[in-house]
Amino acid sequence: MTDLTGRVAVVSGAGRGIGRAHALHLARLGAAVVVNDIGVGVNGAETAENPASDVVAEISRAGGRATASTDSVATADGGGAIVDLALREYGRLDIVIHNAGIIGAGPVATQPWEDIEAVMAVHLHGAYHLIRAAWPTMAAANFGRIVLTSSGAIFGHPLAHAYAAAKAGIIGLTKSLALEAEAAGIDIKINALAPIGATRMARDEQKSRWGELMDPDAVSAVAAYLASPQCRVSGEAFHGGGGHVSRIVLGIGRGWAKGEPGITAGDIATHLTEVMDLRGLAIPKTTNEMTDFLYQVATGRSATLSGAEIIPTEARGAKAES
């Protein structure tokens, strides 16, 4: 069993839904938890509720340790205050789970810009604010586990373009910071989690179709693993929920290479089926691995020389539009 006794965690957006489940799950495993939530609706509108204190009371009644925070991750001062609270109350910080989020949808040409900025501020900037505040402490202790919430929206979400863009940004941030920690030789593991659960943000159709599989606590088991010393992977993204866990990857196909300069738009139209083919998909860990792979393919060299992970499947390419 995963044991987090003695560990200290910050969980943002922990007053309800999946964030609440994360906080309760970590507390059951022995961690002291800073429960952060500013108590707003899914659209970012203020409410009069104080969900962070409610979750703290729930943890305390079960014999755990928790402290409420109502600072906003959307500002650098807020992110710093959340981390400072953890250090002041518990003297250390081992785990950061950034789960806070709002969703705003609308046509790209007419959605108010301030709504788009608000979504980015909570999801993507919020991740930065927490990580920048926590990183020095984790680096000094040579231990840290960071879990950033992404979403299936990275595959496209009609009208929720800002949300999708922010969640895609989380993936790039995760991968880049994992490389930074590795290069520095410090044991900070950072991964992204795209959850599915019965929350205020989930669509009614999802809740009806998935039923009890949408229990947010099923997602929290994945978060708990990623937040534990047992977790040895970093820079990865995972789907979690419904009793299912899977890896999400960014890959690049072998494509089509002319073998000489002077490629034309007509060449691409002619060879689009080959361009779209995903057989021999490469999963680069770094930008350099990506460019090495592409160079080797473009010059006719063996793509296995690249450090990128190669998936040797007979994957069917996407259907090309003529």
Residues annotated as catalytic are 163
Which of 68, 210, 237 has the alpha carbon at shortest distance from 148?
237
Alpha-carbon span 172 to 175, nearest angstrom: 5
| Token pair belonging to 157 | 């979400």
Alpha-carbon span 163 to 101, nearest angstrom: 9
DSSP string, 209-224: HHGGGG-HHHHHHHHH
Pairing relationship of beta strands 281-283 and 309-311 according to DSSP bridges: antiparallel
Pairing relationship of beta strands 244-248 and 281-283 according to DSSP bridges: unpaired
Contact criterion met (CB below 8 Å) for 103 and 152:
no
DSSP string, 233-273: --S-EEEEETTEEEEE---B------SSS---HHHHHHTHH
Where are the alpha helices (H) located in the chain, listed in sequence order? 17-28, 51-61, 76-90, 113-120, 126-141, 161-184, 204-210, 216-226, 265-270, 272-276, 287-298
| CA 217 to each of CA 1, 28, 208, 211, 212: distance values in angstroms, whole numbers, following the listed order | 16, 12, 17, 14, 11
| Token pair belonging to 29 | 């495993």
| CA 157 to each of CA 106, 108, 125, 164: distance values in angstroms, whole numbers, following the listed order | 11, 12, 20, 6
Alpha-carbon span 274 to 285, nearest angstrom: 24
